[in-house]
Structure 1
Amino acid sequence: MFRHSMRAFLVSLCALTAASQAATAVALAVPADQRPATRTTARALHAQTLADLTTAMKGEAYAYATYSLFAAQADGQTRPADGKVAQQAQPAVGELFRTTAQTELNEHLREAAALAGVVGTNEANLRQAINGETYEHQVMYRGFAEQARKDGDLEAAKLFTEIASDEGRHRDAYRTALTVLTTGRGTIPAPPTANTVSVPAGMPKVKAARTEANLDTAMHGEALAHAKYMLYAARAMQTGNAALARLFEGTSGVELHEHFAGEAVLAGLVRTIKTDLRTAITGERTEATTLYPGFAKRASAVGDGAAARFFRDTAADEAKHAAAFQQALNQLS
């Protein structure tokens, strides 16, 4: 899987006890949706380990979302944005992207989330979601929209503004749900329905580097929100709160199929099948040789052995993914 963007490869859900003061200090220094988790299953993890696990989750969620789009492209389910004849379908490549995406989400991200203690009580999960949605509604997307307008990327400004409004509605629904849980009065809101966006292959539709960077940040945030909300939905269902599970699931779908997809169109995320494979290969190799080994080394140095093992095991998986993608590319060449 590949992380934040081609420009940032090298940069870098379940218990209820608080993490160390150091971890909390680090968490409060960044936006709510980007904060490392602060609940752990045994002793508190080191702040840097938590930060690395958060980076891992964000990257794995992004890979899942992106590989899912690459799979649709390879399956011949999407047409080029320029209206030209679509490429010949490559169902074997589509299946490779699809199965790899499932590994990133259902193995790697879930393991990282469990180590970081991302999932708590339904009330705690709602508070985390409210914090993230509030930040995106009030700060992030409004700021991105203003910057895009200044840079002449009006289509991006319009999309960012629309998503900001959506996130405000998500926040309000989560606030209502939290009130229902804490007071026992009222009804949990019905889940939103995603207006699914098709993502054709094509070049970026923005011109400013700043807009491209903001789209990348936004896509990573939406992908992570999708994954976390699905974990929160599972917790809600486990505790017998089907209405809350439906709310989380519905919102998760909006984040992925509407927000992430809409941003992917403007970013030109999906290209030709060969280009998609090359992009995946580069990312997987970087993670296998640089990113995850670095995380493992840091975790080992501070005694976070379980996290170190996770990082090493994930690095090995990513190397296998890179090899499989390379083989697929060779067969197309």
Structure 2
Amino acid sequence: MRGEAFAHASYTFYADQADRERRPAVADLYRRTAGVELHEHFHEEALLAGVIGDETANLRASIEGESYEATTMYPRFAREAEEDGEREAAALFAEIARDEASHGEGFKAALQVLQTGQGQIPAPPQVDPVTVPAGPPRVHVARTLANLDTAMHGEALAFARYTAFAEQAAQAGDEQVAELFAGTAAVELHEHFAGEAVLRGFVRDTRTNLRKTIVGENYEAWTMYPTFARRAQTAGDFDAAALFRDNARDEAGHAQAFQEALRGLG
């Protein structure tokens, strides 16, 4: 699931870069593939894993995740970045820790409303989108670079989970809870992930992005998912094995489509 969530986030910003280079066909390919990674692969895997529950369970899981990031992960990353002399990263990590604490409070308030029937579901947080231009890393110390990678994977996963939780709440008729999850998801992707991606130098020119994408899709198609399918089959988890095989075929098709897009650049 983490890989699918990260692919969705990555492709979202690679599509924006393709737009800036006036390559609309590549941008469209990235966005369509991002949709498959999120709404098919991630969602189906999350259902099998029991990640998506009812609104109460989803809020509790979200509170736990936000608490860890606000009180443990991001404060540690900020301290380490400061020690590494990476002041810009330290400031970003500290800012995100505050955001995550606020998100946790919003989820706690929503849970209390569901449990007591009193009060109001909080309004969703407002997103201040960060543009991720192509460029080199602005962080250079290995430890802080590794922490950025960890943080970006966490933000991508949070976006995917909250998007799924928003869809579940909407289906249950809890529109305000759905809006809270969707609004928080937008902050995780378009502020937190994006801000970290800028420091990481995550987005490059479209040719470079495509080459990186092809390597990743081929790994999932020919190594990761086949391995997962064999393990699931051996364990008797036949539904999971079938899903992993299906995803492997999808990823092979994605790799081919991206390879054709790369050839089309000339």
Q: Which amino acid aligns with 2:25?
A: A
> Aligned to 1:161, which of 94, 97, 106?
94
> Aligned to 1:196, which of 105, 120, 129?
129
**Does the residue aligned with 1:198 lie in a helix, a strand or coil?**
coil
Cα distance in 2 between the residues matched to 1:316 and 1:230: 25
TM-superposed CA distance for 1:212, in Å, is 1.1
> Aligned to 1:121, which of 51, 54, 58?
54
Cα distance in 1 between the residues matched to 2:148 and 2:16: 21
Task: State the match for 1:171 in structure 2.
Answer: 104
TM-superposed CA distance for 1:161, in Å, is 0.3
> Aligned to 1:262, which of 166, 187, 195?
195
Q: Which amino acid aligns with 1:128?
A: A
Cα distance in 1 between the residues matched to 2:112 and 2:70: 20
Task: State the match for 1:58 in structure 2.
Answer: 2
Alignment of 1:1-333 (within 5 A): 57-76=1-20, 88-333=21-266
Cα distance in 1 between the residues matched to 2:164 and 2:38: 11
TM-superposed CA distance for 1:328, in Å, is 1.2
Q: Which amino acid aligns with 1:119?
A: I
What TM-score, normalized to structure 2? 0.98
Task: State the superposition RMSD in angstroms.
Answer: 0.9
Cα distance in 2 between the residues matched to 1:102 and 1:302: 30
- Structure 1, residues 25-62: CA drift from partner, whole Å, max 9, x if none? xxxxxxxxxxxxxxxxxxxxxxxxxxxxxxxx111111
- Structure 1, residues 98-136: CA drift from partner, whole Å, max 9, x if none? 111111111111111111121111111100000000000
Cα distance in 1 between the residues matched to 2:3 and 2:80: 25
**Does the residue aligned with 1:196 lie in a helix, a strand or coil?**
coil
Q: Which amino acid aligns with 1:60?
A: E
- Structure 1, residues 200-249: CA drift from partner, whole Å, max 9, x if none? 00011101111111111111111111111111111212222111111111
TM-superposed CA distance for 1:277, in Å, is 0.2
Question: How many aligned residue pairs are there?
Answer: 266
Q: Which amino acid aligns with 1:64?
A: H
Cα distance in 1 between the residues matched to 2:109 and 2:78: 27
The structure richer in helix per residue is 2
Identity across matched positions, percent: 57
Cα distance in 2 between the residues matched to 1:208 and 1:300: 42
Q: Which amino acid aligns with 1:314?
A: N
Q: Which amino acid aligns with 2:50?
A: G
TM-superposed CA distance for 1:304, in Å, is 0.2
Cα distance in 2 between the residues matched to 1:207 and 1:318: 32
Which structure 1 segments of 5+ residues have no match? 1-56, 77-87
**Does the residue aligned with 1:65 lie in a helix, a strand or coil?**
helix
Cα distance in 1 between the residues matched to 2:180 and 2:254: 34
Cα distance in 2 between the residues matched to 1:324 and 1:230: 26
Q: Which amino acid aligns with 2:184?
A: T
Cα distance in 2 between the residues matched to 1:70 and 1:147: 29
What TM-score, normalized to structure 1? 0.79
TM-superposed CA distance for 1:272, in Å, is 0.7
**Does the residue aligned with 2:128 lie in a helix, a strand or coil?**
coil
Cα distance in 2 between the residues matched to 1:242 and 1:320: 36
Cα distance in 2 between the residues matched to 1:125 and 1:309: 27
Q: Which amino acid aligns with 1:70?
A: Y
- Structure 1, residues 59-97: CA drift from partner, whole Å, max 9, x if none? 111111110111111111xxxxxxxxxxx4211111111
Provide runs of 4+ in structure 1 moved above 6 Å.
Answer: none
Cα distance in 1 between the residues matched to 2:217 and 2:138: 26
